[in-house]
Amino acid sequence: MTTTLPDDGELSRAFSAGSEAALRAVYDRWSPLVHTLALRALRDAMAAEDVTQQVFVKAWRRSGSFDPARGPLGAWLVGITRNCIADALTERARQAPTVEPTIVAETAAAPESPFDLAERALVAGELDRLDEEPRRVMRLAFYEDLSHREIAERLQIPLGTVKSHIHRSLARLRTRLEVIE
């Protein structure tokens, strides 16, 4: 059985209107990202499943307050995910036995913030939505830290094209990732 998911705008409007079918589509589209963020932050599959469930229950309960004009649905869900992860980490810390702080500081490297992980995963997801050539340009610029000229040489495309791809891609990413907290 093949189903086509509605575009983000249509899905966002249906979700904010309280459509149960939209909830299913939102879950299908965004639960892998939510679960991955939770799993990376919590390093516990059961806790990640709990957070994923909490995120979608909270999102459904607050669906009427979601305004598609204020930002993308995925970013709104990542915001809820960040809060649920923070709550889970707080609860875990509260229940953990107390350990001498100096020992912890000496033996454990600080884990990456779940907020940083969430933002990185969201940006990576948005990069994947770009067309092939702009996506390659952006990945070389951000992940390999190449200059515009180096990207042009590696991809054998004009320098002006590289600059245009980066400018347009950043504008698209900025628009899609704006979230009003």
Each residue of 61-86: pLDDT tens digit? 999 888 888 888 988 999 899 899 98
Give CA 96 to chain center in angstroms.
28
CATH architecture of the domain with residue range 130-181: Orthogonal Bundle (1.10)
Assess whether the region 1-112 and the region 130-181 belong to the same CATH fold: no
What top-level class would CATH report for the domain 1-112?
mainly alpha
> Is the whole-model pTM more than 0.75?
no
C-alpha to C-alpha distance for 54 and 9, rounded to whole angstroms: 24
Domain ranges in the chain? 1-112, 130-181
Mean of pLDDT values over 132-152? 86
CA–CA dist 32, 52 (Å, integer): 9
- Of these ranges, 29-38, 68-77, 99-108, the one predicted with the greatest mean pLDDT is 29-38
